[in-house]
A and B are shown apart, each in its own frame.
Chain A
Amino acid sequence: MAEKILMVDNISKRFGGLQATDKVSFDVRAGEILGIIGPNGAGKSTLFNLITGFYPIDEGTITYHGERIDGLTPDQICHKGITRTFQVAKPFPGLTIADNILVACLPKADKVSDARAKVDEILKIVSLDKKAGSLGADLTTLERKRLELGKALATNPEILLLDEVMTGLKPKEMDDMMELIKELKKTKTIVIVEHVMRVIMNISDRIIVLDHGQKIAEGLPREIAENPLVIEAYLGRGAKHA
């Protein structure tokens, strides 16, 4: 089994009366794609916010390569090698696409010219090379998602946390994005939060399932698809609403 590089141990987070994350533990292994699924409000995005330091955790520990990273700020965690994307893509609207990528390259570059030299390569990876001069504000949904991914890649992370990169994409665009992620897997470890089942089942090596802030299942995609608890979490809720 591959090395466990990120270990999340028993973390909890409460917002007022809402237990957003409840004693969740899992680990991430080098080179895998770990899928995180769960119904709306299950606490998937919160989990990313906790790992990357956007929210402080109430309890538990997060260890990366044997070193505690809980309590660090988002920028420090990024420097360690973990970068996340945002569910709602956050381009820098007033900067050009090339400058968006440049800004992302800078924190880990010794010189501005070194960062500048990397921009074209990244633009090609995410197929935005023809848009280099446009403003961040002037992109389509797909392009925004690609830029979001490009910025995260520009920080050259070891672990890439992808938050719903498929939302808002057409089926054909999803296939392209899936190919891109599989390509990235050759060099990165990826944790992906996703709503679209077809995608998550297809690309994940392992999957964990969250519901009401708790981890209710973990396993291979095939096992997850057959897990009665998971089916209940999705369908049971759906039935109640219907």
Chain B
Amino acid sequence: MEMLLQIIASGLLLGGIYALLSVGLNLIFGVIKIVNLAHGDFLMMGMYATFFLFTLKDINPYVSVLIIFPAFVLVGVLIFRFIIKPLLGKAETEVNTIIATAGLGFVLQNLALMLWKSDFRAIETNLTGKSYEFAGIMLSAGRTWAFVICIAIALILYYILMKTKVGTHIRAVSQDTDAATLMGINVNRIYTLTFAAGIALVGAAGAIITPTFYVYPTVGLYFNTMAFIIVVLGGLGSFTGALIGGLLIGLVESFAGVMASSELAQVFSLLIFLFILFVKPEGIMGKGARV
């Protein structure tokens, strides 16, 4: 019984982190309708930034979010302006944005390889190795804090999207670009904002997970697959869905990891993913139609 609770608890912690990883992707996919294959590589960049801020400037990973978020907003604006925007609104948009972001991923991974070599790096903070005990269940301190921050960010985002004017605009654009334009919404501005926010969120996620994951140039590839699975599972543009999807995959991994091998755990997640794609492509919580 205790074992079961332990598995569930670690699964949920992992799931919360997964959910945060996929929020930025979800936003970009849901609003601009493009697949950002470089998503995981921005995560990697966020992790490296955190790593160096910590080792060189002694800045706590959670505090570094405050630096990384605005920096990544800027990066996101530039990338949108010079790479994504020229590709939008054409017959080949769908294919070409996928290919272009894959190329961008190549660029980022190899930039990291050139600058920082392929070594696995990790940081030791005052939370490393520590756990909290709660009713007999051990919770990794790093992951617990990551989980808490993830939930907080998700709530803030939810508030912005549902309660503010700009959030309403974003939702309007995600539902119908033409109608939004007619209502006087500047779609280009909303796209830029969404893309930048998506990139900044994944950068921040990178900062938050750095205390508990290794950093290396291709770390993004692993998380990329995860993030896509969660986004589709939860449903495009649905934040509650993303949260549930993240928790679900976290649980699946946690259980399958104990029962079988990590490869089978992945296979299992992927099969669930395919199943959902086939029978309910709008996701568990989504209400949108098939694209």
Contact = CB atoms under 8 A, between A and B. Distances in A.
B92 to A, nearest CB: 9
Interface residues of A, number: 3
B91 interface: yes
Q: Is the interface of A mostly helix, strand, loop or mixed?
A: loop
Interface string B129-158: 000000000000000000000000000000
Decide if the interface of chain B is mainly helix, strand, loop or mixed.
Answer: loop
A94 interface: yes
Contacts of A94: 91
Interface in B68-91: 91
B52 to A, nearest CB: 47
Nearest to A94: B91
A93 B91 CA distance: 9
Interface residues of B, number: 1
Interface string A88-130: 0000011000000000000000000000000000000000000
Contacts of A93: 91
Contacts of B91: 93-94, 137
Nearest to B92: A94
A242 B91 CA distance: 43
B222 to A, nearest CB: 37
Nearest to B91: A94
A110 B91 CA distance: 32
Contacts of A137: 91
B275 to A, nearest CB: 25
Interface string B85-125: 00000010000000000000000000000000000000000
B289 to A, nearest CB: 14
A100 to B, nearest CB: 15
Interface in B181-199: none
B90 to A, nearest CB: 11
A137 B90 CA distance: 12
Nearest to A135: B91
A94 B93 CA distance: 14
Interface string A196-233: 00000000000000000000000000000000000000
A137 B91 CA distance: 10
A94 B91 CA distance: 8
B209 to A, nearest CB: 43
Interface string A49-88: 0000000000000000000000000000000000000000
A72 to B, nearest CB: 24
A71 to B, nearest CB: 24
Nearest to A93: B91
B137 to A, nearest CB: 46
A169 to B, nearest CB: 23
A111 B91 CA distance: 30
A20 to B, nearest CB: 18
Interface string A126-149: 000000000001000000000000
Nearest to A137: B91
A34 B291 CA distance: 36
A174 B91 CA distance: 31
3 contacts: A93-B91, A94-B91, A137-B91
Interface of A: 93-94, 137
- What are the 3 A-B residue pairs with the smallest beta carbon separation, nearest first? A94-B91, A93-B91, A137-B91
